[in-house]
Amino acid sequence: MVADAWLSKELEDKRVLCLACAHACKLAPNEFGKCGVRVNEDGKLKLTVYALAAAANIDPIEKKPLFHFLPNSKVMSIGTVGCNFSCKFCQNWEISQHPQSHNYEVFGYDLPPKKIVSLALEAQCKSIAYTYNEPVVFFEYTYDTAKLAYEKGLKNVYVTSGYETRKAIDELTPFLDAMNIDIKFFKDESYRKISGAKLKPVLETVKYAHSKGIWIEITTLIIPRINDSDEELRDIAKFIADIDPNIPWHISRFHPDFKMLDRPATPVETLKRAYQIGKEEGLNFIYIGNYPDTDLESTYCPNCGFKVIDRFGYIGEIVKNHLNEKGECPKCSNPIPGVWG
Ligand code: SF4
């Protein structure tokens, strides 16, 4: 369904400025934004995927990944077609790049905000995640759902590439509890060449969302020969630690996909090297994802080393939360940062 994309500004000559993401598309009538789902219709910005979900699932929250946010709970996850990034390694390219490569055609099934919230409640989810593709491109759909979810006692989560404008974050802040933000690279050139975006807005989003009190976790997919140098990994870890050493950093394993089939999966030694670099830079919580055979998905108390949340098996399969009801280590009472209830 087509709906008003109110996060926008009307300009002269029926042009319109989109205020959702850092691309700041200025669109002439009938022109689509880079994301392929926001279009200028006669001087007004419209969203072509409102209430049109291309994917909806009930997942463990650990799969987002969020490890310090309502552990062992279920999350209703939704996404649409379209994306403001064009990552060559995208694992969800069939939905994220569909409109741009099919003359702005969209697909999905009818899933209005009210229905999402009722499905989430029925399934005993504790939160709703806007995920699979970049949620800020379907901002108005997420906003209406998040507001309704909040009124019903559910929390809301963005899984994002971090290209939100301050205005988008400001609008969402009353209802948005957590964000998992990708820092894909620490080189502007890589962002431009591989993802069709820039580095600086992403870093600004991380800082701004953190300053607004939204719970933040960061994910970096480590791609051989792209972002796996000690220097780049250290830059990312240092950037996170400078904001807050308690921000969890998820190091994720690359698998060849979409337009990036010319290199192998990330060697486990690289993941462990990244883990070590994160520790050296002072990060308290580092996790290795997409590789279940390590014990580096559990949470350890930074004060006494006790394993406070045990995770093993396929991601989110078995989670044993040993924190007390205040979110403290049961051994030394050190508070573990996160959203625990
Ligand atoms: S959300 Fe889409 S239309 Fe809006 S600025 Fe970003 S890419 Fe452009």
Summarised one tens digit per residue, pLDDT across range 289-316 is: 766 666 789 999 999 999 999 998 777 6
Question: Could you tell me the distance, in angstroms and rounded to a whole number, from the CA of residue 254 to the centre of ligand 1?
Answer: 27
Using the mean position of ligand 1's atoms as its centre, give its distance from the Cα of residue 38 in Å. Answer: 7
Ligand 1 centre distance from Cα of residue 177 (Å): 23
Please tell me the residue having the least CA distance from ligand 1 atom 4: 18
The radius of gyration computed from the CA coordinates of the chain, to the nearest angstrom, equals 20
Share of the chain above pLDDT 90, in %: 88
Report the residue among 23, 44, 46, 136 best suited for mutation to probe ligand 1: largest number of ligand atoms under 8 A from its CB. 23
Q: Where are the domains of the chain?
A: 3-47, 52-321
Q: Which residue has a Cα nearest atom 2 of ligand 1?
A: 35
Q: Give me the mean pLDDT over the 1-29 stretch.
A: 97
Closest ligand 1 atom to the C-alpha of 21?
Answer: 6
Q: Which atom of ligand 1 is nearest to the CA of 82?
A: 2
Q: And the tokens for 108?
A: 């999905």
| pLDDT of the residue at 256 | 80
Rounded distance between C-alpha atoms, residue 150 and residue 128, angstroms: 10
Instruction: Return all residues near 183 (Cβ < 8 A) that are at least 6 apart.
Output: 162, 202, 203, 206, 218, 219, 220, 236, 239, 240
pLDDT at 312: 82
pLDDT band at 46 (very low <50, low <70, confident <90, very high): very high
pLDDT of residue 293: 62
Per-chain mean pLDDT for the chain? 95
What DSSP string runs through 265-321? PPPHHHHHHHHHHHHHTT-S-EEEES-TTSSTTSEE-TTT--EEEEEESSTTSEEEE
**What is the C-alpha separation between 279 and 286, in angstroms, rounded?**
8
Asked if pLDDT for residue 260 goes beyond 80, the answer is no
Site to probe by mutation for ligand 1, drawn from 4, 11, 32, 35 as the one with most ligand atoms within 8 Å of Cβ, is: 35
Task: Give the Cα separation of 99 and 92 in Å (integer).
Answer: 13
Q: pLDDT (tens digit, 9 = 90+) per residue, 267-286?
A: 989 999 999 999 999 999 99
pLDDT at 108: 97
What is the rounded average pLDDT of the residues 106-133? Answer: 98
d(CA 27, ligand 1 centre) in Å: 10
Burial class of residue 208, CB neighbours in 10 A (0-12, 13-18, 19+): middle
What is the number of other CB atoms lying within 10 angstroms of the CB of residue 319?
A: 21
- pLDDT attached to residue 168: 98
CB neighbourhood size of 187 (10 A): 17
pLDDT digits (tens, 9 = 90+) for 170-212: 999 999 999 999 999 999 999 999 999 999 999 999 999 999 9
Domain 52-321: which topology?
TIM Barrel (3.20.20)
Sign of CA dihedral 110, 133, 83, 170: positive
Contact 227, 270 (CB under 8 A): no
| C-alpha dihedral, 102 to 104 to 110 to 116, nearest 10° | 110
What number is the average pLDDT over the span 142-153?
98
Tell me which residues have their CB closer than 6 angstroms to ligand 1. 18, 20-21, 23-25, 33-35, 38, 84, 136-137
Q: What is the pLDDT of residues 71-108, one digit of tens each?
A: 999 999 999 999 999 999 888 989 999 999 999 999 99
Please tell me the residue having the least CA distance from ligand 1 atom 5.
24
d(CA 286, CA 273): 12
Strands (E), the chain: 3-4, 8-10, 16-18, 26-27, 38-41, 44-47, 52-53, 55-60, 74-79, 109-110, 127-130, 155-160, 178-182, 215-222, 249-253, 286-289, 299-300, 307-312, 318-321
Assess whether pLDDT exceeds 80 at residue 317. Answer: no
Q: Which whole number is the average pLDDT over 219-233?
A: 96
In this predicted structure, which of 22-31, 70-79, 100-109, 257-266 has the lowest mean pLDDT? Answer: 257-266
Residue of 21, 100, 195 to mutate, ligand 1, most atoms within 8 A of C-beta: 21
* 78 CA from centroid of ligand 1 (Å): 19
Give the residue, 340 or 91, on which the prediction is more confident: 340
Helix (H/G/I), strand (E/B), else coil: 89: coil
Q: Please, what's the b/e burial string for 169-185 (b: 16 or more CB within 10 A of its CB; e: otherwise)?
A: bebbeebbbbbbbbbbb
Looking at residue 290, its pLDDT comes to 66
What pLDDT shows up at residue 254? 87
List Cα–Cα distances, 128 to 64, 83, 124, 162, 279, in angstroms.
Answer: 11, 19, 11, 18, 31
Residue 59 has a CB neighbour count (10 Å cut-off) of 16
| Residues 93, 85 contacting (CB under 8 angstroms) | no
CB 139 within 8 A of CB 50: no
- Using the mean position of ligand 1's atoms as its centre, give its distance from the Cα of residue 193 in Å: 18
pLDDT (0 to 100) of residue 64: 95
For ligand 1, atom 1: residue with the closest CA: 137
